């Protein structure tokens, strides 16, 4: 526990150091038609978390299995993500990189070999198809967490919810070291969340995560989910993973479906995410952060309770599908409300 506590001030110092370097090299986010913040904000949240992970490794080198391969993957993601933050790279190099780190992970034996007993109590073993499913899972997780990074505090909050839930799952399963590692990552994310929200020093020290950070977090989450749900030492059912990342996953699927339906690329950025719709409905930025965060906590806890109550995987999967259906209905209703609100404003003007 002492090492986890020490990580917070260490991550905070690293974050302030990274801010200064970022301004000198131009690693900042500038306002444009899609980004409505004021001023140039350093994109260093991911950089500080990356070096905090190295700090954690120095304190406790045995907490995460296959650490060299994991660090190789997130180093590549950090470099390419940093280049994307600085020069706005096209989609293809980023997707190829995500496929590459998925390959490195699978070489360590970490892949989705089974989806559990989701077929009415019968196991769904993927066999060789598991490698392809893993690639899509890695791309999906990375982009799910990248896409929720749209308002202050949201990516950090949802990341902490998932990491905290994973910490609980690993602890309940007897994997105490990995549980502590998840809690340590939460501690490393807290300085970023505080500065991103302007706490306690105000907007002067504001920072953003950047694509480097969101890709690092998304990959870390899918790595931990596969460790937790696959193989003889699994501590949770594969279907429970859907509950732990439900909000970013549902938001990504809904937005990508809408983009494809419009004939656009699923990776094309827009302002149609859950948090954007909440803002257009008239909710404040704080409430638009609060609602997805609380929803994420609730769904993660429900998923864990369902498993610990020994409810079957097939029922758990059916329930998460119902949740997704209700989520789509609610978002569609909110979209209509926001559209009507904007039309009324236009008519008034």
Boundaries of every domain in the chain: 2-348
Q: Pick the residue with more confidence: 251 or 340?
A: 251
Q: Cα–Cα distances in Å, from 244 out to 1, 36, 152, 230?
A: 24, 30, 21, 15
Share of the chain above pLDDT 90, in %: 74
Query: How do residues 196-247 score in pLDDT, each as one tens digit?
Result: 999 988 888 999 999 999 999 999 999 999 999 998 899 999 999 999 999 9
Rounded to an integer, what distance in angstroms lies between the CA atom of residue 6 and that of residue 56? 9
Query: How do residues 76-101 score in pLDDT, each as one tens digit?
Result: 999 999 999 888 889 899 999 999 99
User: Residue 148 pairs with which residues in a beta bridge?
Assistant: none
- Position 263 pLDDT exceeds 90: no
- Position 39 pLDDT exceeds 80: no
- Position 55 pLDDT exceeds 80: yes
Please report which residue ranges of 111-175 form alpha helices under DSSP H.
Answer: 129-147, 154-172
* pLDDT score, position 343: 61
Rounded to an integer, what distance in angstroms lies between the CA atom of residue 307 and that of residue 305? 5
Query: How do residues 161-185 score in pLDDT, each as one tens digit?
Result: 999 999 999 999 999 999 999 999 9
**Average pLDDT, stretch 310-326?**
96
Element (H, E) at 325: helix 313-348
| pLDDT band (50, 70, 90) for residue 344 | low
Element (H, E) at 28: strand 28-29
Q: Pick the residue with more confidence: 2 or 142?
A: 142
User: Residue 41 pairs with which residues in a beta bridge?
Assistant: 29
| pLDDT band (50, 70, 90) for residue 349 | very low
Q: What is the pTM of this model?
A: 0.94
Rounded to an integer, what distance in angstroms lies between the CA atom of residue 53 and that of residue 11? 9
- Position 37 pLDDT exceeds 70: no
* pLDDT score, position 102: 97
* pLDDT score, position 239: 96
């Amino acid at each position: 526990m002492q090492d986890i506590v020490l990580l917070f001030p260490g991550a905070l110092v690293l974050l302030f150091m990274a801010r200064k370097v970022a301004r000198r090299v131009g690693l900042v986010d500038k306002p444009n038609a899609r980004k409505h913040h004021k001023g140039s904000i350093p994109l260093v949240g991911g950089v500080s978390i990356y070096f905090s992970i190295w700090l954690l490794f120095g304190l406790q080198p045995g907490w995460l299995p296959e650490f060299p391969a994991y660090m190789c993957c997130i180093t590549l993601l950090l470099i390419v993500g940093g280049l994307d933050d600085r020069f706005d790279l096209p989609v293809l190099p980023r997707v190829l990189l995500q496929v590459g780190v998925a390959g490195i992970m699978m070489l360590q034996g970490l892949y989705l070999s089974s989806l559990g007993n989701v077929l009415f109590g019968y196991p769904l073993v993927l066999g060789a198809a598991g490698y392809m499913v893993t690639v899509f899972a890695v791309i999906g997780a990375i982009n799910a967490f990248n896409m929720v990074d749209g308002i202050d505090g949201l990516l950090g909050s949802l990341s902490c919810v998932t990491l905290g839930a994973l910490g609980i799952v690993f602890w309940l399963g007897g994997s105490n070291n990995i549980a502590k590692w998840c809690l340590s990552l939460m501690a490393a994310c807290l300085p970023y969340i505080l500065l991103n929200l302007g706490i306690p020093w105000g907007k002067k020290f504001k920072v953003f995560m950047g694509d480097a950070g969101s890709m690092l977090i998304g990959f870390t989450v899918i790595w931990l989910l596969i460790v937790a749900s696959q193989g003889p030492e699994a501590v949770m059912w594969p279907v429970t993973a859907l509950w732990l990342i439900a909000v970013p996953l549902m938001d990504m699927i809904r937005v990508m479906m809408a983009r494809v339906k419009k004939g656009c690329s699923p990776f094309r950025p827009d302002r149609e995410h859950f948090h954007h719709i909440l803002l257009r409905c008239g909710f404040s930025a704080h409430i638009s952060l609060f609602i997805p965060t609380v929803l994420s906590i609730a769904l993660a806890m429900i998923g864990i309770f369902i498993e610990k109550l020994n409810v079957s995987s097939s029922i758990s999967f059916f329930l998460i599908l119902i949740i997704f259906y209700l989520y789509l209905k609610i978002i569609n209703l909110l979209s209509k409300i926001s559209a009507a609100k904007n039309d009324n404003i236009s008519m008034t003007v």
